Amino acid sequence: MSPEETSLLTSASELFIRNFAYMVPLTIIYGIYLVLTFMALRTTLSHNRTLSNRTILILLIATLIITTIYFCTFVAGAFLLMQTALVKNIELSLAERFSLANESVLQIDICSMWVGGDNGLLYLFSDGIVVWRAWAIWTGSCRILILPMLLLFATFAIFIVSSTLRTIAFVNPSWIAGGLMSNLVVAGFSMSIATNLISTLLIAIKAHQHRKSLQNAGIGSSIAVRILMFLTEAGFVYIVFQIIDVCLAFLDDGSQLNSPFNITTHIWGVIMNLLSATYPPLVILIVHHSHSISQASSGTYLSNSVSGQTHISFARSASPMSSTPMEDQSASQSDRQIMHRNREKEVLNNMRWSQEV
């Protein structure tokens, strides 16, 4: 075997090892994503068929299709590359077989790039879910959401331009300047991070306002506040993950292709693609589950309040116009409970994915 063939086989084996290292976490997270998505679909289908509910159902199914396409193209590309280079075309030289293998996965790579690459559809859907979440919470205050909506449209425009130019670069890299692609990637990541940051801050402001209003009414924490705080914390965690993704991408210059840092960077990028798809069904499950708990507890408190009022009325004195301090205190406590539950229900209804229209 010539030194050139030995070098080609070494490079091919390193490529196959890298692909295997990418597929292991990809498969694990895709399995988790499927479980969460089917649970979210079941939860969504169990509610009334409102317009908003149908919209969320369509978004879940669309995200499921896009994520599955990304997973299948990634796995299919790895196996097709290995099969074309090592199994088929054995009558050709190694150099010709490897060149043919690269050409065989060109269309798969383009499809994978549009779906789950930098600023791909998976990231765009995740950004849209965050903006939708803020819009549902700030119902009646659409002017506040003008900035995140503009940022979301800017992210979409950058996605179209960047993906189109990268598709052209796949066919002929000399047609597109490398600096232009880098600037578009930076712009896309910046718009995505800004969209998530502003939308998350709007949710945090609503959480603070609701908690302050409950404290002014003499009421402690509530399920609505806990949901809002969870959405805020999850949003900031996702932003941190995005920033880590950007930093790793720019710290890795690609000069050492098989270095541990290079492999870690690519593994993190694969993980981030599916994490962005996992975020929407996870939020839907948390909101619906918490809303069910609130409805159950609201019914319990309401029953207790009615029972308490009936008992107090039965124990009243003969004078219909008189009342004791204990009765006034109990009635006031019951009114606060009812007011708390009504306010809780109002906030939760604004946060629900299945709003009545």
- Give the residue extent of every domain in the chain: 3-314+325-351
Closest CA to 105 of 175, 179, 16, 31: 16
What's the count of helices (H) and strands (E) in the chain, helices before strands? 10, 0
DSSP assignment of 98-163, as one string?
HHHHHHHTHHHHHHHHHHHSTT-HHHHHHHHHHHHHHHHHTTT-GGGGHHHHHHHHHHHHHHHHHH
pTM over 0.85: no
Neighbours of 147 (CB within 10 A): 14
> CA-CA distance, 140 to 59, in Å (whole number)?
23
Hunting for tokens 């009421």 — which residue is that? 219
Structure-block tokens of residue 1 = 């075997």
Return the pLDDT at 291: 54
Return the pLDDT at 279: 79
Return the pLDDT at 290: 58
> CA-CA distance, 68 to 173, in Å (whole number)?
28
Closest CA to 136 of 357, 351, 344, 355: 351
Q: What is the DSSP letter of 357?
A: -
> CA-CA distance, 166 to 172, in Å (whole number)?
10
Distances (CA, A) of 113 to 24, 27, 121, 355: 19, 18, 9, 35
Closest CA to 219 of 47, 342, 303, 312: 342
Structure-block tokens of residue 29 = 């997270």
Is CATH 1.20.1070 what the domain over 3-314+325-351 is classified as, yes or no? yes
Structure-block tokens of residue 234 = 């999850």
Return the pLDDT at 350: 54
Q: What is the DSSP letter of 355?
A: -
The answer to whether 302 touches 341, Cβ cutoff 8 Å, is yes
Return the pLDDT at 298: 44
Return the pLDDT at 198: 92
Consecutive 10-residue averages of pLDDT for the chain (357 residues): 75 80 88 91 79 78 90 88 79 80 82 80 83 78 83 90 84 73 82 91 86 74 76 87 84 70 82 83 73 46 37 33 43 51 54 42
**286-293 LR contacts (CB < 8 Å, sep 24+):** 286/227, 286/230, 287/227, 287/351, 287/352, 287/353, 288/43, 288/44, 288/47, 288/352, 288/353, 288/354, 289/43, 290/223, 290/226, 290/227, 290/348, 291/348, 291/351, 291/352, 293/223
